[in-house]
Amino acid sequence: MKIDPEAAESRPKIPELRHRDSLTVEVKTRWISAQTQNDLARMGMAGLASVVAQTCTQPVEVVKTRLQISGEVGAAAHKTYNSFLGSATMVARNEGFFGLYKGMSAAALREMSYSSLRFGLYEPFKRVLGESDAKHTPIWKKFASGAAAGIVGSGLANPTDVLKVRMMANEGEPKRLMTIAKEVYADGGFTAFYRSVHTTMIRAAILNATKLAAYDDLKQNLLKHHIMQEGMALHFCCSMFAGVMVAATTSPVDLVRTRLMNQPAGKKLYTGMIDCAMKIVKQNGIMALYKGFNAQWMRFGPFTIVQFMCWERMRAWYGMKGI
């Protein structure tokens, strides 16, 4: 029987299976390059690792958010949160244990979108900038790649960030994700989901550049000088260092971003990022910009460790080299 070439061409493309040995089957996909497949896999694994990390640290982030909105201009309705431990106790006592997990659904959605992109695009951006040898890549390329990936990821995922902050700031009965989404939309329409997007993108650029460049550069230097070998101990040390650096550089921006996101559309307390920062300093002094720093560090430390260690482990299981 003759086969019509046009009909054969129009059939769905099926991956070719080629046996390499008795145990291994290699899948050759015609329409997706191996590099693209690895990039997509890297994004997926980054999202999963970040959800695991978020689950471990969500209570800390809820307390951090409450500390940041405490004492807000014109927000007398908010309870006063003064210390991390006292705030955690107050939330648990008034709202129950699961009050510490408010916003988890939005946070998981955010990590699957935002972190998939900001981590997954880091290495493609390094390739664009001309990386050839990971151990000799200039630090500026790492910072630039991290910043670019952070900007793209945060810009696209900003709606999930707005929902997460609103859910965590809510001190009453827990509300469903869709309920919060409807409230945000009623507050200002579609654009309300992109409230403070510029602040978020600036924060993401700083955070992602600091986190990935600090981790990547320290790891490559430790390997290059044979101080440590590839493994969990190396991943732990590098992720701990990255967490400290991130907490130190992003606390003021994170505070301003939280205040901007939490303000109602009909009663704006701040006109923008600079106005918000100036009002905070005027009302409470320069150190007020670091309000919630302890909670910030307590989140970023464990979060970064779990995130990087899970991501590195998943990459190893997949057969992909580490960052």
Return phi, psi of residue 285, to 5°.
95, 165
Token pair listed for 239: 């992720």
CB within 8 A of 60, min separation 6: which ones?
Answer: 295, 298, 299, 302
**Measured between alpha carbons, how far is 245 from 249 in angstroms, rounded to an integer?**
6
Secondary-structure breakdown of the chain: helix, strand, coil percentages, each rounded to the nearest 5: 75, 0, 25
CATH 1.50.40.10 given to domain 5-318? yes
Higher-confidence residue of 98 and 27: namely: 98
pLDDT value at residue 217? 94
Provide the token pair at 7: 């009909």
d(CA 211, CA 311) in angstroms, rounded, equals 14
Q: What is the dihedral of CA 118, 121, 127, 131, to 10 degrees?
A: 30
Residue 142 has a pLDDT of 95
Confidence of residue 250 (pLDDT cuts 50, 70, 90): confident
| pTM confidence score | 0.73
Q: What percentage of the chain carries pLDDT values higher than 70?
A: 83
Distance of CA 101 to the CA centre of its chain: 17
